[in-house]
Structure 1
Amino acid sequence: MTSSDGGKHMAAEIAEQPAVLGGLLARRAEITSVAERVRDRRPRFALLAARGSSDHAALYAKYLIEVLLQLPAGLVSPSTTTLYGAQPDLAGVLLVSVSQSGGSPDLLEVTESARRRGALTIAVTNTPGSPLEQAAELAVDIGAGTELAVAATKTYSATLLALYLLVDAVRGGRGEHAAGLAELAAQTLDGSAAAVAEAVRRYRFVERVITTGRGYSAATAAEAALKLAETSYLAARAYSGADLLHGPVAAVDEETAVLAVTSAGHGGAAMREVLDVVRQRGADVLALGSAADTVPAALRIPVPETAEEVAPILEVLPAQRLALGLALARGGDPDHPRGLRKVTRTR
């Protein structure tokens, strides 16, 4: 921490996450009751509406729905409703609107419109009684408590867990893979501290970062890029490992740092070819995840191994700490990033 104590809110909220996750797990029955309503309606496919960090959580939920429920799922473009007035038939559709504040006008309008057109609507939010929660038929409270830092940390990981518990309960699961996540989150924060500090020293002066992952971990790569951009003002871009090889890899060179999310499972295994290519182009690779030790990299940040479907809940924790550390090392205050407010209102 700097002498001016910059970033104190972000640091505190990162540290709160094991307790927040534990509290959410203790309320799993509330989420199960929502899941039962979904199961009774037997949706034919799912749509997810979100912005910012919540959009990355929605991407994670898209993988969960398609893999665990075997339902097609897509991310909504809110402007098709708010700007163009599209009114598709949504009978038999599940719409999940994800918003930490529950106050974004575009997500509110999308949710209201979808409900009128026959969708089963669920609001996943950190603000009980918010306009979004009132607009939706069902609601899941992530229960992360007030978040003072502009950069979302505890609300993001809690949203991931809430979405996992919801989807798992819809398929009839009992949250077995999530049961120990509070303890594992504490282990992740403690066990990765030295590696994160070394990464801060190594990348303090870097200006161009690519973050990449596959499968469930694509959401972590997207969230890591956002955190680096909004707190450290880095030119950070996120790509799935597959998309990176389809053109953007041409921009990778010796001046590029690559944050590669590689956890045990199909997604992590698919990243090996990607990292072979970027290493050949001279990139400096930082591997993060439970499979980080299995891939070529200049530095590695370890994460305890879990079922692949819940790995993003742990992966993001050291990525948040990295963004915090780099922001402070570069002379910034991540609690007050320039030009940003806690709640962004778009239409």
Structure 2
Amino acid sequence: MVLQAIGLMSGTSLDGLDICFARFEKQEVWTFEILKAETISYPKNWEEKLRNSIHLSAEDLLEIHSEYGFYLGELVKNFIKKHQLENIDLIASHGHTVFHQPQRKFTLQIGDGRAIKIKTNLPVIYDFRTQDVLMGGNGAPLVPIGDEILFSQYEACLNLGGFSNISLKINNQRIAFDIAPVNIVLNKLVQKFNKSFDENGDLAKTGNINEGLLSKLNSLNFYQQSHPKSLGIEWCNENIFPLFEQTEMLDILATFTEHVSQQIANIINEYQLKNILFTGGGTYNTFLVEKIKAKTTAEIIIPHKEIIDYKEALIFAFMGILRLNNEINVLASATGSFADHSSGVMA
């Protein structure tokens, strides 16, 4: 069986839309090949719209849900035309997360899949998270199904994105959870320096660690909770940003980077991991990665750029393929829902 799909991923760090066109083949096991992939940066107006969407009224939120769906459809249409793509079986769209409160039984990823279908005239699968939340799960992380099937050669897979999350196998069960916020905080902090991200961690490197702030960050209740667990921007607004008010900006960057490295190293050491695949935009933050390496003996594997940048979009494309075949694409052991299931709304 050979199927080809486009995966769309818009991360919480708002650096743009990842589009990945991949071929998946199933013989004894599933294999994949990324055929074309690119990141399309958001123009300023869309970046601001998405960033402010959490503050919108119900009516305006419904409007942007449709509008963003048509915008995604337009971007995909252009991507298909540019690369002269053919034989596309489906588009799988993650959407852009506005709200994520699984304890209140809701999560919202805007970007109506029906609008994408209208623009592209291709089958679309979207809204992968809601069903899991309704089934008592966190609706996150979803990527572990891809780690389990496509990246099983690694003991663990760790994503350094807006949030850091990890997936690993314990007693033949794939578990996964969010570890700590990363770029969702760092990128917001460096806006003060008119930058969209801290390249190589160069700004953080110039600051000093504030031990009092570090202690407050490490004492946050989330880090004591057992998995499964997940984070959202609301949690950062409530628990992280208020701690920064009295501190010099470069010192905040240095301290928060140290905090993230400690939390990630704690997890690597707790599970005695021997090798871990690192992906996501934060992998380019060499200062952060070196700090993590210094705190653990595990082998940290940095793959080629295509996997660093597009692993999540690739796995959402794969989740779409599994959904098309009505196969399990969400693992209860990772999200905490009451059963494995096949999730995603078909347009």
| Short-chain TM bin | 0.3 to 0.5
- Normalised TM-score (structure 1): 0.33
Compare the two structures and name the one with the higher helix fraction.
1
Q: Which has the higher strand share?
A: 2
Using structure 2 for the length normalisation, give the TM-score.
Answer: 0.33
